[in-house]
Amino acid sequence: MRKRLLAGLALAGALALATTGCSSSNNNAGSSGTGGSGGGKTLTVGFAQTGSESGWRAANTQSMKDAFSDANGFKLIFNAADNKQEAQIAAVRSFINQKVDAIVIAPITVDGWDDVLKEAKDAKIPVILEDRTINVSDDSLYAAWVGDDFKKEGETAGAWAKQTATSPTNMVVLEGTTGSAPALDRATGFKAGATGAPITTLDSQTGNFTRADGKTVMEGFLQKYGNKIQMLFAQNDDMGLGALDAITAAGLTPGKDIKIVTIDATHDGLQALADGKFNYVVECNPLLGPQVADLVKKVVAGESVPKTQVATDQSFTQEQAKAALPDRKY
């Protein structure tokens, strides 16, 4: 079996975990279930989120909290690791010590998970991966994964870039968190989608999926390359939105002087597209909570589930963004 699930297909210091209960939950107790059978009883679930780095992440967190509510038969113990892998792993160990019924992880990076997942397996606590994928020595260390196809998202963005670059084009790239599945897979997908296009990548640096870092890195690109930059690929909306400020401050017009393609399709991203500041946006659906909650119930009950579940994504032109915005949920 592949060690990496859908190759290409998502917080507090490690020693000071702020494991905050959602709804009316508290952080003291373990499971109120009966050995994983569920039996209509409340299931205690620990969710190790990456952090709060973007609008996408905020929507994802809210979807998870809504799905893992008291009304739906859950007690959620939530931790946001502030994009620090050591803090996230410590949170998972805390969940194991609390004897939760199941653990859900949105992994910050793809590597470094074998040891803690073995500890969860030894404790007979099933693990569901949400949003991001991982590399492990044994796929049985987690029960299932649900998320978006990051490689396909990159391919869609790359195909647009290829169609748009009808003449030699200089591009810069704002990458996501170094070592994360979306950063790796979107880069691979973009390269595949843009194969054969007359695009030269002048520079590619991480903006950590944040608006602030996207602005800072774009400022550096502009200082170094100036008006040689003709296209920007931002691996998420927030970095692209940060780059808009830098582009405008440099006296350039985003969407015209520099064509911009981003991934996520948050409300703010689609608004920038509708306003003509972005040129194309590929969706990454953050509303994964209901699918994850359904998986957790089935896994805890001992049911067989698909190893992978992929969310449905779209892509947007300016006119499509204008039509989608009034009903956009995130």
* pLDDT score of 329: 83
SS3 125: coil
Range of the domain at 92: 20-147+287-310
- pLDDT tens, position by position, 185-237: 999 999 999 999 999 999 999 999 999 999 999 999 999 999 999 999 999 99
| Paired sense of beta strands 259-264 and 231-234, if any | parallel
pLDDT for 249 beyond 90: yes
Q: Are 151 and 9 in contact (CB under 8 A)?
A: yes
Residue 155 and residue 275 share a domain: yes
Give residue 218's identity as a one-letter amino acid code. Answer: M
122 CB-near residues (< 8 Å, 6+ apart) = none
Q: Is residue 1 part of a domain?
A: no
List 262's β-bridge partners, or say none: 234, 281
Residue 128 and residue 28 share a domain: yes
How far is residue 16's CA from residue 109's CA, in Å, rounded to a whole number?
20
Name the CA dihedral angle for 144, 184, 176, 281, rounded to a multiple of 10 degrees: -90
Phi, psi of 132 (to 5 degrees): -100, 155
Q: Is residue 130 part of a domain?
A: yes
- For the chain, where are the alpha helices, taking DSSP H only? 55-67, 85-97, 114-122, 150-164, 181-193, 211-225, 237-249, 267-274, 289-300, 318-324
Q: What single-letter DSSP state applies at residue 255?
A: T
Name the CA dihedral angle for 78, 86, 204, 159, rounded to a multiple of 10 degrees: -40
Q: Is residue 43 part of a domain?
A: yes
Q: Is residue 328 part of a domain?
A: no
Q: Are 147 and 288 in contact (CB under 8 A)?
A: yes
Residue 291 and residue 270 share a domain: no
- pLDDT tens, position by position, 26-74: 333 334 333 333 446 899 999 999 999 999 999 999 999 999 999 999 9
| Paired sense of beta strands 315-316 and 280-283, if any | antiparallel
CATH code: domain of residue 47: 3.40.50.2300
* pLDDT score of 82: 94
How far is residue 11's CA from residue 83's CA, in Å, rounded to a whole number?
6
Residue 200 and residue 75 share a domain: no
Average pLDDT over residues 121-143: 97
Cα→Cα distances 244→257, 272, 309, Å: 12, 9, 34
* pLDDT score of 29: 35
Q: Is residue 3 part of a domain?
A: no
Residue 214 and residue 94 share a domain: no
Q: Is residue 173 part of a domain?
A: yes
pLDDT for 327 beyond 70: yes
Residue 232 and residue 196 share a domain: yes
Residue 170 and residue 129 share a domain: no
Residue 48 and residue 92 share a domain: yes
| Percent of residues, the chain, with pLDDT higher than 90 | 86
Q: pLDDT class for 4, splitting at 50, 70, 90?
A: very low
Q: Which two tokens stand for residue 83?
A: 């994009």
Average pLDDT over residues 285-308: 97
